[in-house]
C-alpha cells in the first residue's frame, strides 16, 4: 500500500480527489490517499507551496514531493525538504499558457483596444502590420516559453527566445546568458516573460533593460511579479518609452486594491490566471511519477536545487 498525502490548499482536494484517484488506479497503483496521515507513514506528498505543510522534517519515509505548480520559488529553498522535489509540467497548463499569451500578443499586435474602446463615430482605418513584421521576444525558453514560441512562429511572428543555457530551436533566434539579454530586447516590439523566479532572475527587467527596448514596445509578464522592478516599469511607461504592460503576476497577490497598477492607463492587470494546473491532465503526471518512484525509475520534472527551478 502506497500512502499519499494530499497537502495542497484544502479547496483543491474537492477538485483533485476524483481525477487523482482515477489516474492512480489507471497506473495500477495500490494506494491510500488522504489529507492527513502520521508523517512517518507518508510515501509521497502531492503538494502546493501555499499548503499549511512547510516543515518536512517529520516525513522521514517520504520518497518525493510532487508539486502541483510549475513555479517552485516558494519551496525550493526549504531546508527541511531533503527528498526529491518534482515540479508540474502539465499539457493542460501549457496549452492554457499558449492561449493566454497568444491572445494578449494578438490584442497588442492588432491594436484591438482602439476599436473596442473607440466606438465614438470616428472611422479609424489604420492597418496593423503583418505578424511577420512584428518581432517578439520570449524571456524563458522552457516548457511554456517554447510552446508559446512555436504558436507565435506558426502565426509568422519573428521570435527570439532567451534562456540561461544555449539552445538550437528551429525557426527561432535563440540567445542565452546575461551577455545576450539586451541584444534579445533591442528589436522586440512585444516581450513575453516566462522565466522562473530565482536569485538570478529577480529584477531582471530593470531600468537598463527597459531602456534597451524600442519605443512603444509592449511587455507581457506571465512569469512572476518580482522579475520586474516595478518602479522602473512605471517610470518607463510614464516616460512614454514603453507602450503598455500586461501583467498577470505581482510581488503581492492578490494585488492590493489600492495598488497603482489597477488604475494605470497603460497597464492591464489579470489576476494570475494566465494558466492553471488542470486536475485531469496533471493527475496523470502525478500518477506517472509515483509509478516511476515505485518501479525504481527516474522521476520526471525534478527541480534542480542549485539553479532553483
Ligand atoms: P521551465 O523551467 O521549463 O523554463 C524556464 C526557462 O527560463 C528556461 O528556458 C531557463 O533556461 C530559463 N531561465 C531560468 N533562469 C534563467 C536565467 N538566469 N537567465 C536566462 N534564462 C533563465 O519553466 P516553465 O516554462 O514550465 O515555467 C516558467 C515559469 O512560468 C514558472 O516558473 C512560473 O513562474 C511561471 N508560470 C506562470 C503561470 C501563470 O499562470 N502566470 C502558470 C505556470 C507557470 P534553460 O532553458 O537554459 O534552463
Q: What is the pLDDT of residues 242-297, one digit of tens each?
A: 999 999 999 999 999 999 999 999 999 999 999 999 999 999 999 999 999 999 99
- Do 146 and 34 have their domain in common? no
194 lines ligand 1 (CB under 6 A): yes
- Do 37 and 164 have their domain in common? no
Q: Is residue 307 part of a domain?
A: no
91, 95, 272, 291: the catalytic one is: 272
Torsion of CA 276, 279, 281, 287, to 10 degrees: 130
State pLDDT tens for residues 203-222: 999 999 999 999 999 999 99
Q: State yes or no: pLDDT of 124 exceeds 90.
A: no
Hey, which residues does 268 pair with through a beta bridge? 246
- Do 120 and 208 have their domain in common? yes
How many angstroms separate the CA atoms of 191 and 188, rounded? 6
What's residue 17's pLDDT? 97
State pLDDT tens for residues 74-111: 999 999 999 999 999 999 999 999 999 999 999 999 99
Chain mean pLDDT for the chain: 97
pTM above 0.95, yes or no: yes
Share of the chain above pLDDT 70, in %: 100
What's residue 223's pLDDT? 98
Determine the 3-state secondary structure of 189 from DSSP.
Answer: coil
Widest pairwise Cα distance in the chain:
70
Q: What's the mean pLDDT in 301-308? A: 97
Q: Is residue 306 part of a domain?
A: no
How many angstroms separate the CA atoms of 209 and 103, rounded? 25
Please report which confidence band the pLDDT of residue 14 belongs to, taking 50, 70 and 90 as the band edges.
Answer: very high
Split into its structural domains, the chain has a count of: 2
State pLDDT tens for residues 51-73: 999 999 999 999 999 999 999 99
What's residue 158's pLDDT? 98
94 lines ligand 1 (CB under 6 A): no
How many angstroms separate the CA atoms of 101 and 296, rounded? 38
* DSSP code string of 36-47: ---GGG-SEEEE
| Start-end of H helices in 155-229 | 181-185, 207-212
Supply the range of the domain harboring residue 68: 2-89+277-295
The residue contributing the CA closest to ligand 1 atom 7 is 140
- Do 118 and 254 have their domain in common? yes
220 lines ligand 1 (CB under 6 A): no
Q: Which of 286, 306, 307, 294 is nearest to 19 (CA)?
A: 286
DSSP element (H, E) containing 85: strand 85-86
261, 269 contact by CB (below 8 A): yes
The residue contributing the CA closest to ligand 1 atom 19 is 164
State pLDDT tens for residues 156-167: 999 999 999 999
Angle 10-68-149 from CA coordinates, rounded to 5°: 140
Hey, which residues does 228 pair with through a beta bridge? 205
- Do 235 and 284 have their domain in common? no
The residue contributing the CA closest to ligand 1 atom 35 is 223
* DSSP code string of 53-105: ----TT-TT--EEEESSS--TTTTT-TT--S-EE----HHHHHHHHHHHHHHH
Amino acid at each position: 500500500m502506497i500512502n499519499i498525502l494530499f497537502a495542497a490548499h484544502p479547496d483543491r482536494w474537492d477538485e483533485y480527489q476524483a481525477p487523482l484517484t482515477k489516474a492512480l488506479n489507471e497506473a495500477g497503483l495500490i494506494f491510500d490517499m488522504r489529507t492527513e496521515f502520521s508523517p512517518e507513514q507518508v510515501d509521497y506528498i502531492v503538494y502546493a507551496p501555499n499548503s499549511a505543510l512547510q516543515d518536512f522534517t517529520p516525513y522521514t519515509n517520504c520518497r518525493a514531493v510532487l508539486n502541483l505548480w510549475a513555479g517552485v520559488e516558494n519551496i525550493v529553498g526549504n531546508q527541511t525538504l531533503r527528498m526529491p522535489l518534482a515540479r508540474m509540467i502539465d499539457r493542460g497548463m501549457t496549452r492554457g499558457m499558449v492561449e493566454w499569451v497568444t491572445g494578449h500578443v494578438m490584442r497588442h499586435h492588432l491594436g484591438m483596444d482602439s476599436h473596442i474602446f473607440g466606438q465614438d463615430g470616428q472611422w479609424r482605418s489604420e492597418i496593423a502590420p503583418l505578424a511577420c513584421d512584428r518581432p517578439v521576444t520570449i524571456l524563458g525558453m522552457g516548457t511554456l516559453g517554447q510552446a508559446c514560441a512555436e504558436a507565435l512562429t506558426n502565426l509568422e511572428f519573428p521570435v527570439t527566445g532567451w534562456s540561461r543555457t544555449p539552445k538550437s530551436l528551429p525557426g527561432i533566434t535563440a540567445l542565452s546568458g546575461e551577455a545576450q539579454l539586451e541584444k534579445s530586447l533591442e528589436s522586440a516590439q512585444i516581450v513575453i516573460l516566462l522565466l522562473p523566479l530565482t536569485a538570478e532572475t529577480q529584477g531582471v527587467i530593470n531600468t537598463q533593460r527597459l531602456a534597451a527596448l524600442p519605443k512603444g514596445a509592449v511587455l507581457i509578464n506571465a512569469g512572476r511579479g518580482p522579475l520586474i522592478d516595478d518602479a522602473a516599469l512605471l517610470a518607463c511607461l510614464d516616460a512614454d518609452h514603453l507602450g503598455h504592460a500586461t501583467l498577470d503576476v505581482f510581488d503581492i497577490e492578490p494585488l492590493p486594491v489600492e495598488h497603482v497598477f489597477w488604475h494605470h492607463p497603460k497597464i492591464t492587470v489579470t489576476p494570475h490566471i494566465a494558466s492553471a494546473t488542470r486536475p485531469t491532465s496533471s493527475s496523470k503526471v502525478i500518477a506517472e511519477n509515483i509509478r516511476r518512484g515505485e518501479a525504481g525509475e527516474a522521476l520526471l520534472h525534478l527541480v534542480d536545487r542549485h539553479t532553483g527551478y
